[in-house]
Amino acid sequence: MDVFAGHRALTRPLRAPAITIGNFDGVHRGHAALIARARALAAPAGGEAVVLTFDPHPTRVLAPAHAPPLVTTTARKIELLASAGADAVVVEPFTRELAALTADRFVDEILAGALGARHVVVGADFIYGQGRGGNVATLEAAGARHGFTVDVVAPVTVGGEIASSPRVRAHLRAGDPVAAAAVLGRPYDVDGVVVRGAGRGKGLGVATANVAPDGALLAAPGIYAVTLAREDGDGRALPAVASLGTNPTFVADGGLVLEVHVLDFDGDLYGARVRIGFVAWLRAEARFDTVDALLVQIHDDIARARARFATPPVAPR
């Protein structure tokens, strides 16, 4: 898959492109439907399914105080877009100058002009251009002028709710990674680097990897069954249990820390890049009066994580 840093950075013409447009944060099942439709439209002419997305998220430029924490970093988003079937991704730098383009200029200069759209695939609530002045109707009118079709994809529903990035965030904040995974079509994950921590876990006989995440940690504080996969490894997702919290038994008013204990693992992870997949909520974080009481609970958490991994996951509907 080719990745271009904006429409001005194209190094080749796009081939009869079917272009879908959006932020694509999380690359959830609704996003996957847009990409699948773009692929279907592009295929008869031997064209490409192209994703036009933006970095940073528009609200970070236009209303930073209201910008949502992102489900995925840009790097992870690109990886997921490739997995979803995109042939090319144009990551358009979002600036105030871009936001100032009228709907007509956005189409004339970027969508039809630079990218040469043959088909455009959007959701029913798609808006674009200065002051959010463009919508599906204006896009269809522009398509008639420029010779591209507009295909509107119906919302994807999961468990009676529309698949969306805000729904993913809401489920994660509620401590429900299973519901988030149903919307995403895969477990929520976080990439990061294993750094040195306080060393308490090893001293307690339960060694942990302290993970410094690349992006936001959206999951609610608590104890989770998770997986850990090394970037430089064989791709296996190893079963693990994680504490996302402030270590209240040892620290007062500490910062949020992600510590992962990999089950039945006796290796060195320091400095490794890893991906943590959130599988299931086990319990809320708690402060214990004694280290012995904490250890009893840790071993119970490990047992519950083992039980969770022994149970086949239920496929999302």
Tell whether pTM > 0.85.
yes
Whether residue 11 has pLDDT greater than 70: yes
Report the pLDDT value the prediction gives residue 202, as an integer from 0 to 100. Answer: 67
Whether residue 317 has pLDDT greater than 60: no
Q: Which of the four pLDDT bands, split at 50, 70 and 90, describes residue 254?
A: confident
Place of tokens 């083992």: 306
List the domain boundaries for the chain: 10-155, 188-310
Specify the CATH number of the domain 10-155: 3.40.50.620
Tokens at 122, concatenated: 């959007």
pLDDT tens digits, 191-211? 999 998 766 666 677 889 999
Q: CB-based contacts of 259: which residues, under 8 Å, 6+ apart?
A: 197, 201, 208, 209, 210, 211, 242, 243
Whether residue 316 has pLDDT greater than 60: no
The CA-atom distances, in angstroms, between 182 and each of 156, 187, 220 are 12, 8, 17
Q: What's the mean pLDDT in 295-302?
A: 93
* CATH class entry, domain 188-310: mainly beta
Q: What percent of the chain has pLDDT over 90?
A: 82
Nearest to 270 by CA among 199, 174, 184: 199
Q: Which of the four pLDDT bands, split at 50, 70 and 90, describes residue 214?
A: very high
Mean of per-residue pLDDT scores for the chain: 93
Identify the residue with better confidence: 43 or 313: 43
Report how far residue 40's alpha carbon sits from residue 18's, in angstroms, rounded to the nearest whole number: 9
Q: What percent of the chain has pLDDT over 70?
A: 96
Report how far residue 226's alpha carbon sits from residue 262's, in angstroms, rounded to the nearest whole number: 9
Report how far residue 100's alpha carbon sits from residue 98's, in angstroms, rounded to the nearest whole number: 5
Report the pLDDT value the prediction gives residue 223, as an integer from 0 to 100. Answer: 97
Report the pLDDT value the prediction gives residue 162, as an integer from 0 to 100. Answer: 96
Q: Which of the four pLDDT bands, split at 50, 70 and 90, describes residue 83?
A: very high
